[in-house]
Amino acid sequence: MPYKTIYRFFLWLLLLNSFHLPVHAQYFDITGHQKRVHIPFRMIRNMVVIQLKINNKGPFNFIMDTGVGLMIITDPQLIDSINIPSKRILKLTGCGEGDAYDAYITSTLRVDIPGLTSYNVAAAILKEDHFGLSNYAGMPIHGLLGYEFFNNLAVKVSFSDSTITVYRPKDEHLFNKGQKIPMTVEDHKPYIETNVYMPDGSVKLRKLVVDLGAGHPLSLENMVDSHELPKKSIPANLGMGFNGPVNGYISRINEIELGKYRIKNLISSFPEDDSSKKRLRENRDGNLGIGLLKKFDIVFDYPGHAIYLKSGQNFSEPFEHDMSGLEYYAGGDDYSHVIISRVEPGSAGDEIGLEKNDEILAINLIPTAKMSLEQIDNIFKSQNDRNLLLEVYHDKKHDNVILTLKRRI
């Protein structure tokens, strides 16, 4: 699994614009007369994960994602366990020439998050799990929660204490000390316009989705075919779409403006343009991902058409990309096996002969079974020229190898 958790659910976005969902608005509201509700979350590999129940079953782990317009259940086993009274099957056609997939649209579900009440919330359920989010996270992931959570309330995501705080919009004074940035909501997703400063000295006004479900700091689209890719860039696998890997490049930009904030030397993804994706792409130039957003405490105020930013504890930390060239996931029933899924050609991992399906057993004598995938991510981004002792299961035998991290961008 690559730098970004999942590139974007192009098909589901198309589905949401073309399929007739329940006629009543889908939303959450605060239960009773409370002014705010606090919801703890876990930060897992640049994903904001909360627990919720569905139809009195659970708890289930859901990723908060402002980039999707409908609640999505990615674990097909929930089809039977949550007792859905009725569902309609759809045949979904992915980008390009790939096979079609079956999915369900459910009837209204009862979605329980402590302190909140759901209204008319339905979901799309994939009949098969094509994305492997649980393996990517190293823990069970059951789905994604998007627009219906954000559309009726003001939602503050505080990365400093891993808490989501939900307000009624009339209590705007509770969070208006942050930097206010105008926002529009189009096709169930939040957009801002901002200036991006490129390495060649040009300044580009870009329309970006504020995408809490994207793992990267920034993605800029429509720039590869137009020959605007920065000269210093590396080819990369940017994520997984319905029809396989999404290819592109990783580079750095000089600066991006977010109100009064100027974020410099920012890592950005540049996906390759594809004619089939262009047909599905909204009128946008890219997205801001959690790799950048987590430097702030951020409030999404959909009813007030604004976001609010306040710099967090890690605001000044530099942006680093993976220096190993390894992509990996958690395998086994208990997610305790770290399995390599891809090795970037010419990278540090490639130079020492690591291959797809090798297992990383230990790093510097510490068993990987005792480490989270995020801890491993941080080690592999830690320091240029750092030497790491890896114990791996390679070619049907145990090996000890020295991996020297190499900053590639």
The per-residue pLDDT string of the chain (409 residues; one tens digit each, 9 = 90 and over) reads: 443 444 344 344 434 443 445 556 899 999 998 889 999 999 999 999 999 999 999 999 999 999 888 899 999 888 888 877 666 777 655 444 445 567 888 889 999 999 999 999 999 888 888 778 999 999 999 999 999 999 999 999 999 999 999 998 876 565 667 899 999 999 899 999 999 999 999 999 999 999 999 999 999 998 888 888 998 999 888 876 555 567 899 999 999 999 999 999 999 999 987 644 554 455 889 999 999 999 999 999 999 999 999 999 899 999 999 999 999 999 999 999 999 999 999 999 999 999 999 999 999 999 999 999 999 999 999 999 999 999 999 989 999 999 999 999 9
Residues 105 and 22: their CA atoms lie apart, in Å, by 10
Summarize the chain as % helix, strand, coil (round to 5).
15, 45, 45
Q: Please tell me the distance from the alpha carbon of residue 293 to that of residue 386, in angstroms, as a whole number.
A: 28
Domain boundaries, the chain: 10-167, 170-311, 326-404
Q: Do domains 170-311 and 326-404 have the same CATH topology?
A: no
Q: What is the pLDDT of residue 90?
A: 72
How far apart, in whole angstroms, are the C-alpha atoms of residue 252 and residue 236?
13
Instruction: Pick the closest to residue 239 from 204, 193, 291 (CA basis).
Output: 291
Read off the tokens for 135: 């393996």
Asked if residue 114 lies in contact with residue 94, where contact means CB atoms within 8 angstroms, the answer is no
Both tokens of 47, joined, read: 């994903």
DSSP secondary structure string for all residues of 236-273 = EEEEEETTEEEEEEEEEEEEEEETTEEEEEEEEEEEPP
| Of 150, 115, 126, 212, residue with least CA distance to 26 | 150
Task: Please report the pLDDT score of residue 127 as a whole number.
Answer: 82
Instruction: Report yes or no: 214 and 289 within 8 Å, Cβ to Cβ.
Output: yes
Name the CATH superfamily, with its identifier, for domain 326-404.
Answer: PDZ domain (2.30.42.10)
Query: What is d(CA 350, CA 338) in angstroms, rounded to the nearest whole number?
Result: 17
pLDDT of residue 249: 93
Architecture category of domain 170-311 in CATH: Beta Barrel (2.40)
Secondary-structure class of domain 10-167 per CATH: mainly beta
